[in-house]
Amino acid sequence: MDRRTFIKTGAGAGIIAASGGLSAPALSQGAAAKTLRFVPQANLANFDPIWGTQYVVRNAAALVWDTLYGVDSTLTPQRQMVESEEVSADGRTWTFKLRPGLKFHDGSPVLAKDCVQSLIRWSFRDPMGLMIKAIQEEIVAIDDRSFRWKLTKPYPKMLLALGKNNAPCTFIMPERIARTDPFQQISEYIGSGPMKFVRNEWVPGARAVFEKFADYVPRSEPASWLAGGKRMLVDRIEWVIMPDPATASAALQNGEIDWWENPIADLVPVLRRNRNIRVDIGDPLGNIGAFRLNHLHPPFNDVRARRAILMALDQEEFMRAIVGSDDSLWKPLPGFFTPGTPLYTEEGGEILKGRRDIEGAKRLLAESGYKGEPVTMVVAQDQPVTKAQGDVANELLKRIGMNVDFVATDWGTTGQRRALKTPPAQGGWNIFFSWHAGADCTNPAGYTAIRANGDRAWFGWPDVPAVETEVTAWFEAKNLAEEKAAIARLNKAALDNVVFVPPGFFLTYTAWRSNVTGITKGPLPFFWDVAKA
Amino acid sequence: MLVYVVRRILATIPVMAVVALFVFSLLYIAPGDPAAVIAGDQATPEDVEKIRRSLGLDRPFLIRFGEWVWQIVRFDLGTSIFTGLPVTQLIAQRIEPTLSLMVVTLIIAVTIAVPMGVLAAWKAGTLIDRTIMAFAVFGFSVPVFVVGYILAYIFALELDWLPVQGYTPIARGIWPWFQNLILPAIALGMVYIALIARITRATMLEVLQQDYIRTARAKGLSQRAVLFLHALKNAAVPIITVIGIGVALLIGGAVVTESVFAIPGLGRLTVDAILRRDYPVIQGLVLLFSFVYVLVNLAVDLVYTIVDPRIRY
């Protein structure tokens, strides 16, 4: 007996009679086919993709705001809002011309001044934006459709900066909104992307709704990640926030949702058994674990103590703790860059390969002067990836003779504590764990964690001039061969000095109902070309 | 009576003031940093610090507390750090699902638990009594989320009678509203049913030993009249007290139930706010829950006067 039969028969009759009859369904069948119900990876708690750089905000923002350029599936930036660009012979002046007919969701045309102000706001918050701002002479609108960016020296990675997919992206907003302080949140969500944000239906923590923007003009090329024609085949997308994976799994099996962005590995076998559900790798660029050491304080202010961990670390143990027994979900990573991408290298990675040397690690640790002092390991228990890494690392460090002070806490506390530079005994830390989207680790542009510029580096504050030299070399590289050479040297320098410990590379699944078509693998969920029967 | 009610309502003000000070102080000393969460994992320490400053989180305790109190006296609970929306708006968005869940749970629980407790007392020592008490132990022992998953598996996935998750506003019809609440209300109500059933049984057992019950039976009254008109009425005060206390259980249980059944209520808002350290939202919610609890206690006290005319204020 199904629900409808139950309702029609006596069991449901009493309740229905008492309620005054069965209400009409909220959506007719046709409307339901045009509404895609999607469970995102996290709650859309705010909606300013420049102010808040969480991945979930970037993913939603890609529906609402368009970008000047967008990377395609080969990680090459392609024109998106831009019709053409010119760069001067000396490489210092870029002139961009917008496509005709672009409109914001409030009906106003997209003008060059909107782009200028949006880029100014973005440049305060993005690492590449900050680099461009540092060499900026001027950025001005020439006319309604053209603007010029004049620099004091060439910046070969300009198009990548404008089209990259790691947050914050160069989302274009109306000038009046883009004038908002980059460290304050915007309060209007007007973009020129293929979907409009339905603000009055937004219930943070529960639901976000997007409706098709009728005046959107897609490019003529086929869609490829953030590039090409973003053709919307559904009229409405409802993001339903489900904090409980078991509930999301049941809802997908029951047809109450259409697409679940990141099912946990434990539930995938259940989903695979359902013939109405498709399961596949969501993002081929995956994720890279991060075992972060504090370079400011003993014992990890000594490179020998840091290298001792690399000698002993077994990436398989870390990865199995994260993804379970599914071998298709992880790869060893003797380096820092995303496997399968053009700049991937294993240069200098021998220390992470082969049989693990626990005794050698103990000796190296002793040489570093470590004498059993407590090592404060901050482990966020509410994030499965950090918890798994912390549990394995705890055992590993004990095996090589370290005295671990295991601090089990939540992600909010980790976020605060990792920013403290004080010694561990005074509230600071020695180790914490995180992970980075593989899309951010394809090159140094948005890879904050690989930087080793001391006080300005990411948490742990590594100070390795050799790494920074190679980062600069990559930014200045004129072709792929030069880029590859710079990244190989960078990878070696970063491993020799252990900027951080890479515990491995892992992937996650995505799952959808079989009546949904057009889902592509990528670093974020792309909704263009997705249809529902 | 009216004077008593007004006095009790006025007495909530110092209670709320103490709660406000306590909550604010606790959040101030609690570890965690909303700026770090907002900035995202790739942000630099400088970015985090700039966001912290822009949110005013670097200012001294007394200034922040003073500003918040000033907002409260103007009936303004402030603005969420994360969403930029007023806390009152966030609460208003979420209050209907939670209120619906609590009311339906309360109705289901009382409707089931009181007759169960009366029956167990009437049949004390029999298999019926032991079965009911075994059910009560089960209700106490099994966590809400386990009951929730089992119910969802059976009635949603296997039988396809009810939805797995979600909430439909009552404005869209009684049945769509009710069908989303059946499973969560049963899951949440289990512990409540167990509690009320046990207290009802215990109180009824005591009352059933009284002389006036023997007199009522000697007069030839029916068993139903003895149990429900004479015994239950006299046993009502402790039962009502437990129902009142149980509202706190419901508030706590709603947090888990709303997560398991993806109901966009105040419980989930609370958890989300705590995990992100959204201080204005946490403070607003704790004040609201405290106020509700004070009101429920007042309502319980007033109901005493109805069920027991000897009680006067």
Tens-digit pLDDT profile for residues A133-145: 999 999 999 999 9
C-alpha span between A224 and A528 (Å, rounded): 9
| Residue A465 in contact with partner chain B when CB distance is under 8 A | no
Least trusted range by pLDDT, from A458-472, B189-203, B289-303:
B289-303
Are B48 and A419 an interchain contact pair (Cβ–Cβ within 8 Å)?
yes
Region for residue A231 given its phi and psi (left: phi exceeds 0; alpha: psi -120 to 50; beta: otherwise)? beta
Chain B residues 81-100 within an 8 A CB cutoff of chain A? 82-85, 90, 93-94
Residues of A within 8 A of B149 (CB-CB) are 246
| Contact between B170 and B177 (Cβ < 8 Å) | yes
C-alpha span between B160 and A296 (Å, rounded): 58
**Looking at the predicted complex, does its ipTM rise above 0.90?**
no
More confident call, B29 vs A19: B29
CB burial string B155-194: b at 16+ within 10 A, e below: bbeeebbbbbbbbbeeeebbbbbbbbbbbbbbbbbbbbbb
Which residue in this structure is represented by tokens 């304080």?
A297
Q: Which residues pair with A67 in a beta bridge?
A: A171
| Residue B36 in contact with partner chain A when CB distance is under 8 A | yes
Name the helix (H) or strand (E) containing B46. Answer: helix B45-54
| Residue A243 in contact with partner chain B when CB distance is under 8 A | yes
> Residues A79-102: what's their mean pLDDT?
97
Region for residue A80 given its phi and psi (left: phi exceeds 0; alpha: psi -120 to 50; beta: otherwise)? alpha
Chain B residues 46-85 within an 8 A CB cutoff of chain A? 46-51, 53-54, 80, 82-85
Chain B residues 197-256 within an 8 A CB cutoff of chain A? none
State the smallest CA–CA distance between residue A267 and chain B in angstroms.
14
Tens digits of residue pLDDT in A474-514: 999 989 999 999 999 999 999 999 999 999 999 999 999 99
C-alpha span between B194 and A157 (Å, rounded): 66
Nearest CA in chain A to B53: A183
Least trusted range by pLDDT, from A19-28, A107-116, A284-293:
A19-28
Are B80 and A3 an interchain contact pair (Cβ–Cβ within 8 Å)?
no
State the smallest CA–CA distance between residue B30 and chain A in angstroms.
9
Are B36 and A16 an interchain contact pair (Cβ–Cβ within 8 Å)?
no
Q: What is the pLDDT of residue B178?
A: 96
C-alpha span between B168 and B177 (Å, rounded): 5
More confident call, A7 vs A271: A271
Interface size, chain A vs chain B, as Cβ–Cβ contacts under 8 Å: 179
Q: Is the predicted pLDDT of residue A16 greater than 60, yes or no?
A: no
Are B260 and A247 an interchain contact pair (Cβ–Cβ within 8 Å)?
yes
Model confidence at A29, pLDDT cuts 50, 70, 90, reads low
Tens digits of residue pLDDT in B206-251: 999 999 999 998 988 988 888 888 899 888 888 988 888 888 778 8
| Residue B41 in contact with partner chain A when CB distance is under 8 A | yes
Amino acid at A316: E
Task: Name the token pair of B69.
Answer: 């109190």
Nearest CA in chain A to B161: A3
- The shortest CB-CB distance from A46 to any of B84, B157, B161 is to B84
> Which alpha helices (H) appear in A259-383, and where do they start and end?
268-272, 303-312, 315-323, 358-367
C-alpha span between B92 and A216 (Å, rounded): 34
C-alpha span between A513 and A509 (Å, rounded): 14
Tens digits of residue pLDDT in A300-352: 999 999 999 999 999 999 999 999 889 999 999 999 999 999 999 999 999 99
Are B32 and A51 an interchain contact pair (Cβ–Cβ within 8 Å)?
no
Are B275 and A411 an interchain contact pair (Cβ–Cβ within 8 Å)?
yes
- Contacts of A5 by beta carbon, 8 Å cutoff, 6+ apart: none
Nearest CA in chain B to A421: B45
C-alpha span between A513 and A89 (Å, rounded): 52
% of chain A with per-residue pLDDT over 70: 94
Q: What is the pLDDT of residue A10?
A: 39
| Residue B158 in contact with partner chain A when CB distance is under 8 A | no
C-alpha span between B166 and A240 (Å, rounded): 9
Q: What is the pLDDT of residue A382?
A: 85
What's the mean pLDDT when you consider all of chain A? 92
- The shortest CB-CB distance from B176 to any of A23, A449, A456 is to A23
More confident call, A65 vs B50: A65
**Whole-prediction pTM:** 0.87
C-alpha span between A59 and A527 (Å, rounded): 10
Are A247 and B47 an interchain contact pair (Cβ–Cβ within 8 Å)?
no
C-alpha span between B30 and B68 (Å, rounded): 18
Residues of A within 8 A of B40 (CB-CB) are 52-55, 167
| Contact between A261 and B175 (Cβ < 8 Å) | no
Model confidence at A27, pLDDT cuts 50, 70, 90, reads low
Tell me B82's DSSP state.
T
> Residues A445-449: what's their mean pLDDT?
91
Are A53 and B36 an interchain contact pair (Cβ–Cβ within 8 Å)?
no
% of chain A with per-residue pLDDT over 90: 86
